[in-house]
Structure 1
Amino acid sequence: MPARQLPGLWLLPHPGYEGDAVPEDVEALVRAHAASIRRLDRPVVLLGRSTGGLVAQAVAERVGAEAVVLLDTHPVRDEERLTELAARTAVRLDEPALAAMGAYVRLFLDRPEETAGPTTLHLRPGDVPGDHFSMLDEHVATTAEAIRTWLARTVN
């Protein structure tokens, strides 16, 4: 899936959510995303929501990201939280996206927890208004302001 650039943002979609293949392992995914990000040739802050946060963490150290923002991202070993999230998510995702989410969880099951890396903001519902989805839909302005405020204090 090609990257898309918007003013001030660069969106890097994860393969699998639109029916294409999920990478065979985390290393293949990290390598592909890192190559795309390095072409920007400027400092980056990575943001990921849900399982996308797992990807952001994995890529951050490889590309020397200044910071990472994780939106409602939970460790894959938190089975209770992941089961609850999958149940709520299933009604909002189509089959390819739901299958991709499961595939990404499986990819990260054997990966050690991230212990080092750039400064990270963990932002979850309750920190900002909304739920897993609405924090980036109807509450996106509040979520964006929380991120902007944190970045202004954290990233030089």
Structure 2
Amino acid sequence: SGLVRRAAADGRMTQAVELLRTVAAILPGFSSADGLGDLADPVRLAAGDRAPRLVCLPSPMALGGAHQYARFARHFQGRRDVLVPTVPGFGPGEALPLSVDAVVEVVVEGIRRSCPDGRPYVLLGYSSGGQFAHAAAEIMEKAGQPASGVVLLDTYLPGDDGKDELWRQMFDGMLDRESSLGGFGTARLAAMSRYSDLIQDCLPGALTAPVLFVRPRESFATGTDDWRAEWPAEHEPADVPGTHFTILEDHAEATAAAVDAWLTRMPAG
């Protein structure tokens, strides 16, 4: 992790990424949920009887985890369930996914554990976690257990080679926040590397459920004009205060209120 920080500080991101890929290749991997072993239960951050409940996927990056939704979930306490399934590979000794299918299989199992009673649910994903939320929604829809909707919080799709400076500043933004987790260990950095590769092949497919696409009004990056995320499929847009990072930090309440307003407009059932 120290070498990665040094490389990032020196502007050698390519070397940092290659180092993390090498580490990830050495660590154990899984190709299905069965190969992962025991799956941790979803983390409940809020409880309430109002439908639909929210099942939230964190960003599969170094900052990721249920803690990302702590402030967001306060808005729903006593009104809606808010649960966060496990995204594996970020803890010491945890195996890393070997494919997109392996990740989605684990996410789908987490969704089913979050919704054991058949009540309506909405999937929500932050940053690149939105890609896996959308992919899981596609699977659940085909399985006859569809989500009532999908919420994407500032999800950037891969494939835009003109945003190198934006990605560099996004990485810097993560490093600026690592003290909130007590530092990034090898497991978190290696997992980020693996997921960064997998999201290249996790592009959105056909989905019937409505999509809310939430974007911040401010850029976290300096000197870049083309900073706003775009979603190519049909969706309802919502702009909220803050940046890519602060929509779930200082401005989490405003983000939650925008999501809640959309949920409230949904037809019952």
- 1:132 equivalent to 2:244? Answer yes
Query: What are the within-5 Å matches in structure 2 for residues 6-155 of structure 1?
Result: 6=45, 7=47, 8-19=81-92, 20-39=94-113, 40-41=115-116, 42=118, 43-63=120-140, 64-79=146-161, 80=163, 81-93=166-178, 94-95=184-185, 96-111=187-202, 113-117=203-207, 118-126=209-217, 127-155=239-267
Q: How far apart, in 2, do the equivalents of 1:155 and 1:21 lie?
A: 40
Q: What code does the residue aligned with 2:149 have? A: A
Offset at 1:136? 0.8
List structure 1 runs of 4+ shifted beyond 6 angstroms.
Answer: none
Does the 8 Å CA contact 1:76/1:105 hold for their aligned counterparts? no
Q: How far apart, in 2, do the equivalents of 1:120 and 1:98 lie?
A: 30
Q: How far apart, in 2, do the equivalents of 1:99 and 1:120 lie?
A: 31
Does the 8 Å CA contact 1:16/1:22 hold for their aligned counterparts? yes
Uncovered stretches (5+) of structure 1, i.e. residues with no partner: none
Uncovered stretches (5+) of structure 2, i.e. residues with no partner: 1-38, 48-80, 141-145, 179-183, 218-238
Aligned residues: 155
- For residues 4-45 of structure 1, the C-alpha deviation after alignment (integer angstroms, 9 at most, x for no partner) is 123111111311233433311111111122123224232221
TM-score (norm 2): 0.52
Identity fraction in percent: 37
Does the 8 Å CA contact 1:53/1:70 hold for their aligned counterparts? yes
When Rg is computed on C-alpha atoms for both structures, the one with the higher figure is: 2
